[in-house]
Amino acid sequence: MTPPSVDAHVRLDLHPTHSTAVTATLSGSQSHIPHVGLEAADWTVVAENTLVLARIDHEEPYWAKDAAQQLIAGSITVDITPRLQEAIDEEWTWVDYPMPWCTPAEIREISNDAQKIYDDIRTGRLLIYAHAEDGHTTVAVGTYLTGGKSVYLHGENHLRQIADTFQSPAQALAVFQNVHGDHMRPGPAPMTDTERAAAEARTSLAAPAATAEPSRPGPEAVPTYAADPGDHNALLNTFLDAHGDWQKWRTWSDETTHAIHEDQTLRIELVHDAPARETAWTVAAYDTPVSDRAWILTAASATPAPVLQALLDHLSYGDGWDPADTTTVDEKTVTTATQPLSDAGWTHTVDGRWIRWTSPNADAGIQFDAFAAQHPNRTLSTWTIWAGPSLDHPTWTLTASPHTPSLLLADLTENLAQGTGTRQPLPPTRKHKAALGTTPPATSAATASRPIHLAR
């Protein structure tokens, strides 16, 4: 049975002064019906018959589409402006998202959970007792007034998550003070720029008072393993232009550049436009121009430029990559390759066949596979250099076979332990899609990426 039509019309449009916020303008004798539904979905009244949806995850077009579908199902006429429709047909992608293994649906689930926490704080449903700075983010502790659950919050904006729960406010505060006592401050943290922009959008449709445009943050100095990838094509071209003993050619499809040393025992392959965590660089050495490979090294497309520069600098030594120097893999070889890490205070652990070195901040490491090192196959991945959230979910990796020269590895590890590079902070960007398809249901992988619990 077709539901009776409702004398109500809703016009959805982008906010005039806030790029992703959405406005709803209501008309008709029964406009109170969609008004109630939109308010229940966290739209805010800013003027008579006008509501605004402003979120901290910049997903307003997605949720506006969801609201439109529900209104239409209730026999309410909905008009979506062309510019909002264009935004709906786009999909967010976060640059340098800290959990790159998450699918778009899982990212949206995490963001929506963060939005709910933010809404609970700003409406008073979640009372925040204290906050603190924890590295590059903010942590807080509070209690839900309904239900009495006390929580430890980690992160800001679209990455804020409930990282732990407690049986009482007293227990929550005691644990929080024990961990963050030196940096603990009363009450909620000051609003972030994102939260402030959302609050302004919910207040008025007028443009905010003119203020001096803040300067864009410049590149920050970071360890080489956390630096930007830069332009790998330019990096290889600069190397080849400076060393006439190398020749290069590109494949007919223009997808790959090959370079070969004049004695034909060392070769480089660079795959252009490879996905971030897939292999882009392959370096292979041979005892003779017609022999089997002596060793092979690969690097992902997201490998930082300073790390690749250290590799190319070593290859320019001439005989620094001579495979004749790498006939055995023994304790001396491993010690030579990793001594810079020990000198820099990296943590050294042994777990069965695996020997690992981890950076002081646990955001980079090297793994040596003792089994693969003794295997007859000389091209097995024996060394794995990584950086990112963890070895299982790295931002980038570099692998090397058993007989990769220990001096080459030592140059790389010294660069990792002591070198610095730059990283440009980047805002979220949009990528066009032909149409916004059906979003698959989120999986448990999203919740698996939450921060570790506080120790009690």
Q: What is the pLDDT of residues 47-62, one digit of tens each?
A: 899 999 999 988 899 9
Distances (CA, A) of 146 to 35, 120, 130, 162: 26, 11, 19, 16
**Beta carbons within 8 Å of 63's beta carbon, 6+ residues apart:** 22, 41, 53, 55
> Please, what's the b/e burial string for 303-340 (b: 16 or more CB within 10 A of its CB; e: otherwise)?
bbbbbbbbbbebbeeeeebbbeebeebeeebbeebbeb
**How high is the pLDDT of residue 328?**
64
What is d(CA 327, CA 23) in angstroms, rounded to the nearest whole number?
Answer: 69
Amino acid at 77: T
Q: What is the pLDDT of residues 90-131, one digit of tens each?
A: 866 666 677 888 888 888 899 999 999 999 998 889 999 999
Average pLDDT, the chain: 84
Helices (H) and strands (E) in the chain, counts: 12, 24
The answer to whether 131 and 140 are in contact (CB under 8 A) is yes
Question: pTM for the complete prediction?
Answer: 0.50
Q: What is the pLDDT of residues 157-168, one digit of tens each?
A: 999 999 999 989
Q: What is the pLDDT of residues 377-418, one digit of tens each?
A: 767 789 999 999 899 889 999 999 988 998 999 999 999 999
Average pLDDT, stretch 144-159? 92
**How high is the pLDDT of residue 212?**
52
Q: Can you give the residue ranges of every domain in the chain?
A: 9-88, 104-202+440-448, 224-423
Question: Alpha helix locations (H) across 243-379?
Answer: 305-315, 331-343, 370-373
End-to-end CA distance of the chain: 58
Average pLDDT, stretch 241-269? 86
